[in-house]
Structure 1
Amino acid sequence: MQQIIEIAYSNLLSPMILFFLLGIIAVLVNSDLKVPTAFYNGYTMIILFTIGIKGGIELRSVSLSEMIPTIITAIVLSIVMLFIAHLIVHRIFKYAIVDSLAIAAHYGSVSAVTFIAGLAFLDKLGITYESYMSAILVVMEGPAIILAIILYKLYSDKQGTEETNPNAGLSHVIKEAFFGKSIFLLLGGIFIGLVAHLDGLYLIQPLFGDLFYGFLCIFLLHMGMIATESMKSMKKFNPVSFMFAFILPIIGGFLGVIAGSILGLSLGGAVILAILTGSASYIAAPAAIQQAMPQANSGLYLGSSLGLTLPFNLIIGIPLYYWLATIIIG
């Protein structure tokens, strides 16, 4: 226990977490601090492109056969977390089926921000990890979202409810889940890093590399503000009814570490798989769920994934998964 406290304390004092906490404080004290939308869109693109390009460069030395077991496991973990989340939220916390499926879609999917923070955490500790983990991030984004929406449509057909949203078709949902902005930028970056000349990549290193952590700090400042605003906007917030937002990431993190150990991943690779499995989407999932499941309460799935699980993972979850991995894997 002393070790995990020390790890969490060290993580808490990292610049990225301090920027995130500063964003929370800015909203709590009603500061007039604002991040311009154009600036936010710009540095978000740079961050996602940088992850993709770095992953693409590292994929040059990886064979597909080496990745396949982890890819299959990642998809299975995503689907397992969907059903675990649905079971816990619906059966234990007594949420309606539609809301529990919407929430489950978010917890079956993944968070790129949590992934990035996890990479930075491991880099700080000097822990290496498999070079293809950026591709695993992309793989885990969509399956749970698609499956949750299919289950919702089956439930709607059984109940005899009619779908009135013209953008709620499965083809539109697949497009949102697999080719939304974040996934498209990551895939584009991976492609560029994989096929571009190394001399050309060296020329863009100052922007897509050297400035990465600076942009990431500003991004987390903004995320802290958005997370806090999402919680403040919720009416009649009952902390007990949102305990699943802390339970599910712990379950996901534990499953990720176990799966990483079985796969024979490195310590760093198992930690990243745990971080991905324990994270919750708040970009791709809301975009798809809002269109396909309009009856779901957006305050519930956004408030839990963005307002509670994201801060939990950034401050406590990441060092917790690392600690679990050091015990299980060594």
Structure 2
Amino acid sequence: MDAVVAFFILGIVCQLLGAKVSFPENVYKTLSLFLMIAIGLKGGLALQQHIDSDLITLSLAVVAFGLLLPLIAYPLLRYFGQLDRINAGAVAAHYGSVSVATYAVAVALLEANNISYEAYFPLFVVLLEMPAILVGLVLAKGSLKLINADFIKKELVANQSILLMVGSLLIGYFGGQSVEKLSPFFIDLFSGVLALFLLKMGLVAGEQLAALKKNSLFLVSFGMLMPMVGGICGTGLGVLLGFSAGGISLMAILGASASYIAVPAAMKQSLPEANAGMSITASLGITFPFNVLLGVPFFIALGQYIVA
């Protein structure tokens, strides 16, 4: 058990036992911002030495992957979960997008075990935030009319997590040696901040688990099945694209994760009639704990096994 992941378990235990752990909302938001900036900077620094012409082809393949995932999730939600079109589309969008925190946990575990991975993965995290939102809305509404210029500006171009990660990646890439003075804060403190963030996530996940009522059996089943489906698809894509063991693992973990920051904000704005609690319970209450405790270690081991 990695010490960083142990803080997530601590948060769940505190919540389920009824311990009143005070965690100011502003602190949680600050930690989220820190992780997004740190991931972008680390990616930009690494990208300085590893960028090549093949990156465009790889990026297009990743975007196609992001378009495919909600199309896999939607029929499962619609026909096995008996969800209406709007809620099925909203939940599918969450599972087609990615969790920055799950990615951060995976990176922390890979680096702790000295497993290398491709430098451009922060770019893939950003690219996978967007396609699922578009597909989810089209599935929910049954029309492309909602995808207009105003929506693209508000939900994609001005999306906080996308802007911060892209901006930080560019700063890391173009900043040169001046970025090194930021390393003591954004690089050296990364694991400590991630531990605090996971403590908060454990508290929130424990609250969501305690609130499971309607469709609980299906949500639990879907919340564990879909990460495995997405992760196996991501593993196949990583192998097809010729990634290293660490890269295959990260591609699998991106496919297995579900958004609980960027997509909920977009769905709240564009699909206010959708049941937001259902989506958050599935993505944060079930899939996030499943991935942190089981999915991430499994796909890291799988990536090493494939390349060995």
Does TM, normalized by the shorter one, top 0.5?
Answer: yes
Return the letter of the residue paired with 1:201: V
* Residue 83 of structure 1 pairs with residue 71 of structure 2: yes
For 1:154, the equivalent position in structure 2 comes to: 142
C-alpha distance 15-177 of structure 1, shift in aligned 2 (>3 A): farther
TM-superposed deviation, 1:46: 1.8
For 1:315, the equivalent position in structure 2 comes to: 293
C-alpha distance 153-236 of structure 1, shift in aligned 2 (>3 A): closer
C-alpha distance 225-177 of structure 1, shift in aligned 2 (>3 A): farther
For 1:208, the equivalent position in structure 2 comes to: 186
C-alpha distance 241-227 of structure 1, shift in aligned 2 (>3 A): closer
CA distance in 1, matches of 2:61, 2:148: 28
TM-superposed deviation, 1:323: 2.6
C-alpha distance 71-233 of structure 1, shift in aligned 2 (>3 A): same
Structure of greater Rg: 1
CA distance in 2, matches of 1:112, 1:171: 25
Match of 1:36 among 24, 27, 33: 24
TM-superposed deviation, 1:180: 2.0
Return the letter of the residue paired with 1:314: V
* Residue 189 of structure 1 pairs with residue 177 of structure 2: no
For 1:299, the equivalent position in structure 2 comes to: 277
For 1:160, the equivalent position in structure 2 comes to: none
C-alpha distance 135-237 of structure 1, shift in aligned 2 (>3 A): same
For 2:254, the equivalent position in structure 1 comes to: 276
After superposition, where does 1:8-87 map in structure 2 within 5 Å? Answer: 13-87=1-75
CA distance in 2, matches of 1:314, 1:127: 18
Return the letter of the residue paired with 2:130: G
Q: Contact 1:234/1:299 (CA < 8 Å) preserved in 2?
A: no
Report the TM-score when normalising by structure 2: 0.94
C-alpha distance 146-155 of structure 1, shift in aligned 2 (>3 A): closer
* Residue 266 of structure 1 pairs with residue 244 of structure 2: yes
TM-superposed deviation, 1:44: 2.1
5+ residue gaps in structure 1? 1-12, 158-162
Q: Contact 1:111/1:282 (CA < 8 Å) preserved in 2?
A: yes
TM-superposed deviation, 1:237: 5.6
TM-superposed deviation, 1:131: 0.5
Q: Deviation per CA, 1:134-174: give whole Å up to 9, x if none.
A: 111001111111121133333598xxxxx9xxxx9762365
CA distance in 1, matches of 2:212, 2:277: 6
- Overall identity of the aligned pairs, in %: 34
